[in-house]
Every structure is written in C-alpha cells, then in structure tokens.
Chain A
Amino acid sequence: MIEAKHPSELNPLQTYMRAVKMAKTTSRLNNPAWYQDALDLEVQVHCYLKNAGDVECFLYIKSSNSFEKIDGLSPRQLQIADELKNFVDRVLECESVSKAKALGVVFYLADELSIAGLGPEHQNPGEINNLRNMMIEDPTEVLDDKTVSAETHAWRLFPYSGAPAGQEFATAMAVSRKYDDVLLTLREIGDSRNLPIKTCALSAPLCAIACLPWYTTAKDNGTIGVFNYETFTVVSFYNKRADLMMLRYLQHPPGSSDPVNIGPAVMASATAFELESPEIILLSMVGHDLSNMNISLQSSMVKSDIRLMSTATVLREMGLPEEISLEMMVATAELDQELYPVAQNATFTSFREEGWHLQDFLAPDQYELDMYPAQEDMNLLKRGRKVKCVAALLCLLVLGYAGFTSWEKTNSRAWTYKPQNTEVTALQLKEEIKRHEHWNSILMDRSKAWSSMELISRLTPADGSVILKDVKHRVDKKLAPKAKKYGLQKSWVVNGYTNDTGLRYLENISTRDGIKEIFETVAHETGSRAYLPNIGQRDITVQMTQRLNPTYNIISSTKASDRFRLVFTMTITQTFTSTDELALISMKKSKRR
C-alpha cells in the first residue's frame, strides 16, 4: 500500500527505514518483476476496452505465446475495487498461472483518442527525444493548443518518420485519465498481496498502425491504412517506403460506425501528400461492417486498390486465436524482418527499437513511483547487506582475534602474577654462598705439614742409599700484577747424603718428569690436590747439586753420614698462579693499605 507520506517529507533515516521495511515486508528485494514492464512479465492479462459492451480479457503466457480468453469485466466492475480483486483472484486461480510471481495487466484503449499538433516552437525533428519526455511531464509546453489539460488527459508524442520536409514530423496523442484509478487499484491490489501487478495502458490505434507490416508491403503509390473503431476512425498515410507520413482522426457521428465523408477526406490528404492511387487497406478493429466506408472510398479514390481486410484472417495466419484483437498480437509478437520487409523501414524500426506504439499512456505518476524504492535502491540495499555481512564477519574476526588475544593475555600467569620480593632472599642466599665459597677457598687443602712430610719421605729410597740432613720448607704468597688473588710458591730445600746408588735415584727424581711423578704419587697417597702437578698453570722445578762429602770415611765413620761419599742439596719449587684453584683471595685494596 502506498505510504501516507511522500519521501520528500521524510528525513533520510525515515526514508531508509521505509526502504528497509519494503525490503522486509515485501518481495521487492528478491522479485525483479516489481520493476519490470507489464509486457515483459510471464503472465499477462490483456484487456481490450471499447465503448460498448464488456471489456474483453485474455490471459497471455509469454513463454508459450498463448492466449486464453477469460471472463471479462463490465464497465461497472471496472470501477469497483472488490470486483477488480475478484477479477485478479479469478486470473490467479487459473491453472496455467497458479505459480505466477507477477501479473501484467495491459489495457488497450480503443474507446477514445485525441490528436493535436505540436507548437510552432517545437518543429525540430532533432529534439524528438527531448520532446517525448516533455510531452509526458508538461504537455502544454509542447502543444500548440495551450488550453489542453494534463490532469484529465495523458499525452504522448508519436513520430511521423516518413513525413516530407516542411510537414509535421510528429504529433501528440492523448487519452483521458478515466482508467487511471482502475489501474492504480490493480497495482494496490498487487501491493496488498505482495504480488507485483504491473499495469500498462496502450493506445489501440497506435498498436493497429504498427501492425501494417503483417499484411502489406511497400507500394510505389503509397499506402493508406483505415482503422475503424467504435466512435472514431484513424487513417494513416504511408509513403512508397511504407513510412508513416501522417495520421488523421475522424470522429463518428453519434450512433454511426462510420465517419462522415471519409472518401473526400482521404482523397484530400492523399492529394496533399501526392499519393496517386495508393493502396487502401480497410480494417475494422471492432467488427463493424465497413461496406459504406468502402463505397465512399471507392467513389473518391477511383484508381486505388481498396482491400477490406479481416483481422481474423491475419490472426489465423499468425496461428493466434481469432477472438483476440490485432493490437494484442502487435504488443506480444516479435516482428520477423525477413518475412515482413516493411518492418525494416524507419517507421517500424523506430517502433521496434523505441516502442512508440507501446507507450504507456497511464503509467504510474512520479509521486506514486517515489513512494517505493527503485530497483537500483533495492539492489543497493541488497549489496549493502552483503557488504554489511562481510564487514560484520571481518569485524567479528577482528573482535574475536582481539578478544581472544586479550583473554589469553589477561588469563596468563604473567598477567595475574603478583611480584614477590625475591631479592632479599637471593641476596641472603648469595651471601651464604659467598661465605661458603670464601671458607671453601680459605680452608682448601693447600698447605699441610703432614702431606709435605709425605713428599719429603718420598725423596729418599727405601734401600738407605740416601739420608737427609735437614729440610727447609716454606710457603710464600705471590701476587702477580693486576691479579686479584695470591698465587703460591712452595719450596723445599733438602740437604742430605747419598752414595752412588742413591745419586742415581736422586738424579732420576731431579728431572721434571721424575719430580712430577713423586708429586703425583703424593697427591694420590694423601688425597691432596695441592700436589697434582698438571692442573692449570702449576709448575714444579727441581735443582740438585752434589759434592764430595768432606767427612766421608767408610772405614772409621763416627756418624752414619760419614759412610756416604756425596753430599747433595735439592731445591724443589712448586708454583701456583693466581688462577689456580688454590690461589688465595687477597684483601681489598682499601684494607690492604
């Protein structure tokens, strides 16, 4: 249903909300039929409106190009909304349209027509497209007669493609708006049912003019088409290429089915267009007997070939039901240009391409169109939904990612960790370790008397070939430049007596390897690492001197030492550097001072 307010009265948000509401509550978003023309829909109802009698209605299925006559509407029913609803119901109940998603209602207005000339300021054929729009929007601006009403009549431009230079290139055609409400009611029924009912009101005479190619060819003498309707007759004049040069509207006298003096009227126009003995085709569009009209034309156009055509014959040849009108055939059938060469001329090419003969005289006005979002708006809304979905998905992903990472972080042990003061404990422990290391270093087994005595005892062999006189052992600290620890130097100065056997022993141990072997043995025997010779940069040197024993007297010795031929002095020096594990921590500089 049409909303109460025009969108121009709504703010942008309300306008948007209306579009959203339309998208949600109607099928406009998904059913493109809402935005198609009635003649493009699969299911159509074609209604032929004459002055007398009921409206003849035909159900047309586009895909099968089939017509089916259905119950018509009386003029009274046309004015009653409920009757129209019933009519729509009846149409939709038909078996062939039970699944219809849309319905096109096409009115053929055969009950009236007006023709008017364009104003003198609008005689430029180059402006035809502009004039076409102006004719719809503001016909008084275009027409010669400024008194015409755009409110009571709908005006459309109709071109004369074959008009000679200097003649009118187009004319204005009008029908009254008396069926406006009928069509609006039908559209509203569609709105209320959420079923697109698209309407279209064609001028039956214009469709009749467009059907010329189906039954004639271009004649060198030109062609005149006479289309007889209930209250008027339309005469169309075509040149030798069958291009339309002019239309004449001839009103019938009241109660008559023929216009008065059609013969002289046609002759006058034919003379004006210099059409000598043109072919004249007479067609009764509403089933009138045209014999009087034929006589009148024969008397005026003596040399012309006058053909009294039957619409039924044309329809039969087309394989269509004879009861439909010729206009319906024009509106629904495709014109094969190869079969009907006339269709290739300018007039019928423009009809085909620009739809001049299928102009909707009673199209919904702009106000009504504005009430609903256009297809582009709906598509925009649809695309907007997709964009929003994608954006929402991306947003969700971002939110999810951000949320998860934040959750992960805030629930981590690092986040909830409360700092503990481990520094004091660590300091205490370090102090404890430092104290231990200090004591461990201080109390190391670096200089022990008993192990030193063990070394001294190892210097003498068990066979008694060496005896010792005295031993002086000293332990001294050595502080190397820039060193933080004291190295040590141990020295043993051993004086003794030896005979030749002992001397060999002493000479053996006085070598680097010999003395190291002695130290190694002492280290293993005593368990003292201080005697291990090959740790770090430890060094062991040994020096031995010997000389003759001045008291040597093997025969009458008074002391044990007199029996030894030699005296010796052995000096052993063991050095520990400041990097040795036995090095001693020196006092801090300030303390040393």
Chain B
Amino acid sequence: MSNYYKQPVTIFGIVIPCLFMVLLAVIALYMSSSTSAEYRKKKKGYDKAQLAIKQTMGLQEQVQKTKAYTKEWDYLLNTETRGTFLQHWQAAEEKFSGKELTKTSHNWINYSDGIGKGIDQPASQVNMSFSATYRAMQLALLEMETKLPNMQLDSLTITPDTNSDSINFETTFTVWTGN
C-alpha cells in the first residue's frame, strides 16, 4: 500500500477546504455581526428619529387644534390697549340708558395687586365704579368679559345707592396684557 497519498489527500482534500470554508463562514459571520452592530446603532437612531417624528407630528396636530385660539388670543393681547378697553365699555354703556348703567370712575394701575400679582404673565389692574341696575350691570359685564377674556375679577362690592334706586358697583379687574 502506498503511503504517499494519505497526507496530501487529508490536507488538500479535507483540512484546507474545510479550513477555507470555516474561514469563509467566520468572515461572513464577522461581517454579518459588524453589519448587525452597525444596524443596531442605526436602528437606535432611526427609532429615536421615528419617535421624534411621531412626537413632532403629535405636537403639530396639537398645535393645529389650538392654533386658532392662540392666534385669536395673540391678536387680542397685541391689539387691546387701555384706549380700546374704554371704547369697549363705552360701546357696552351705549346699550343702556344713563339710569340703567353709568360708569362713575375708573383707575388704572400698571401692575396687578390682585390675581395677577406673582403670576408669570404681565398684567395691569383697573378699578371701576358703576351706578347701575343689577340687570344692566350683569349684562354689561357679560358682554365685556366675553369680549375681553383677559379680564379677571379681583373683587366686586355691591352696595345700595342711598340717593337713588341704583346700585353701586365697585369692581377691580386684573387685565392680562401682552409680553
């Protein structure tokens, strides 16, 4: 029996091809592993981005829903002044007779000593006195407070007018103003 072939056949016929294939497999697995590692990194970033996009879309949806209000409020706070405030009152007063509603005085201060004090929003305060019937006063206040939602009542004193049938109303409002 020849002894010349066994070793070459074992080495070249089995060992080297198997080693080559093992090497190929190892390289493939290594590359796959590298790709997987890179993929995990990218996936993490992608998921994060997707989450951010989803959140942004949620925010956009939220903003879309509130946009109209915000816009209106922005307009209100940017356009309303003390002058327009008085104009609104005058307009409200005009709907009633002098006997029904008369603003007797008003006084502005540039800050709020009531609700607006210590709040993270600029505000001023206005004291107003009226001589009016209960009904007229309530309607006028309803109109004004609806038109100007930035008015917050600090105090209201209702006392009878000893000289007439009217009622005296002392009001103090905090008026939120724009930044």
Contact = CB atoms under 8 A, between A and B. Distances in A.
B46 A474 contact: no
A13 B12 contact: yes
B55 to A, nearest CB: 6
Nearest to A398: B25
Interface in B134-179: 134, 137-139, 141-142, 145, 149-160, 171, 173, 176
B91 interface: no
B153 A449 contact: yes
Contacts of A435: 70
B32 interface: yes
Interface stretch (B13-21, B80-88, B94-102, B103-111): B13-21
A107 B38 CA distance: 75
A483 to B, nearest CB: 12
Given A405-B35, A449-B145, A429 B56 contact: yes
A398 B138 contact: no
A374 interface: yes
Interface string A1-30: 000000110101101101110000000000
A518 B4 CA distance: 113
Given A405-B35, A417-B46, A426-B55, A376 B6 contact: yes
Interface string B58-86: 01101100100110010000000000000
A469 interface: yes
A15 B158 contact: no
A96 interface: no
A531 B86 CA distance: 29
A394 B9 contact: no
Contacts of B145: 448-450
Contacts of B17: 384, 388, 391
B147 to A, nearest CB: 12
Given A380-B9, A406-B35, A414 B25 contact: no
A158 interface: no
A433 B2 contact: no
Given A7-B4, A7-B5, A414-B46, A475 B157 contact: no
B36 interface: yes
A373 B5 contact: yes
B164 to A, nearest CB: 14
Contacts of B28: 398-399, 402-403
Interface in A427-484: 429-430, 432-433, 435-436, 438-440, 442-443, 445-450, 452-454, 456-457, 468-475, 477, 479
B143 to A, nearest CB: 9
A587 B119 contact: yes
A430 B8 contact: no
B32 A423 contact: no
Contact of B13 (A380, A399, A585): A380
Contacts of A405: 32, 35-36
A588 interface: yes
B39 interface: yes
A450 B152 CA distance: 11
Contact-residue size bin, chain A (C-beta under 8 Å from the other chain): 35 or more
A457 B158 CA distance: 12
Contacts of B142: 450
A436 B66 contact: yes
A398 B28 CA distance: 7
B62 A374 contact: no
Contacts of A10: 4
Given A399-B25, A447-B153, A384 B9 contact: yes
A238 interface: no
A391 B21 contact: yes
A474 B153 CA distance: 8
Contacts of A438: 120-121
B154 A475 contact: yes
Contact of A12 (B11, B31, B59): B11
A477 B60 CA distance: 34
23 contacts: A13-B8, A377-B2, A384-B9, A398-B28, A402-B32, A403-B32, A406-B31, A406-B35, A410-B39, A426-B59, A429-B59, A439-B70, A439-B73, A448-B151, A453-B138, A453-B141, A456-B158, A470-B159, A472-B155, A475-B115, A585-B119, A585-B120, A587-B119
Interface of B: 1-2, 4-14, 17-18, 21-22, 24-25, 28-29, 31-32, 35-36, 38-39, 42-43, 45-47, 49, 52-53, 55-56, 59-60, 62-63, 66, 69-70, 73, 114-115, 117-121, 134, 137-139, 141-142, 145, 149-160, 171, 173, 176
Nearest 9 pairs of A and B residues by beta carbon: A402-B32, A414-B46, A7-B4, A384-B13, A429-B59, A16-B12, A16-B8, A402-B28, A377-B5
